[in-house]
């Protein structure tokens, strides 16, 4: 199946902690799998090396004792209606974290099976 998404799109970013769980599974893993099941164009997880959130506690990879809950960003890009339709799933999953939506422009995306 070839998926093409070009032009206007929406980027959804979920900022959470590496140790956040959903039913004994990393939260970021659950978000990616649900995005895949929902047929969204793509999702990636980025692990931060330093950051802080609502707790104001700085987590960093430089200090072993504070490296257990590094920041994680799950980024999903698709067209706006599909991203907004996915938001109720995040309401269920994300108890503490930040979710942002930003309009973006996709230059080119060709999915699996593309011979170009």
Is a pLDDT exceeding 80 seen at residue 13? yes
> How confident is the model over 83-105, as pLDDT tens digits?
999 999 999 999 888 999 999 99
Average pLDDT value over all residues in the chain? 85
State residue 70's pLDDT score: 85
Taking the model in full, what pTM does it have? 0.82
Q: Give the orientation angle of helix 80-93 with respect to helix 27-37, to 10 degrees.
A: 140
Q: Per-residue pLDDT tens for 25-79?
A: 999 999 999 999 999 999 999 998 888 777 767 777 665 555 567 889 999 999 9
The pLDDT-based confidence of 112 (bands split at 50, 70, 90) is low
What's the pLDDT score for residue 7?
A: 87
pLDDT band at residue 110 using 50, 70 and 90 as cut-offs:
low
d(CA 13, CA 11): 6
């Amino acid at each position: 199946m070839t998926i093409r998404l070009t032009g206007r799109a929406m980027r959804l970013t979920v900022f959470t902690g590496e140790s956040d769980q959903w039913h004994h599974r990393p939260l970021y893993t659950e978000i990616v799998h649900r995005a895949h099941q929902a047929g969204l164009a793509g999702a990636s997880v980025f692990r931060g090396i330093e950051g802080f959130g609502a707790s104001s506690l700085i987590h960093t990879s430089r200090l072993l004792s504070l490296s257990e809950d590094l920041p994680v960003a799950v980024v999903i890009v698709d067209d706006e209606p599909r991203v907004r339709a996915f938001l109720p799933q995040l309401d269920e999953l994300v108890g503490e974290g930040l979710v942002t939506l930003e309009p973006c422009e996709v230059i080119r995306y060709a999915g699996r099976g593309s011979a170009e």
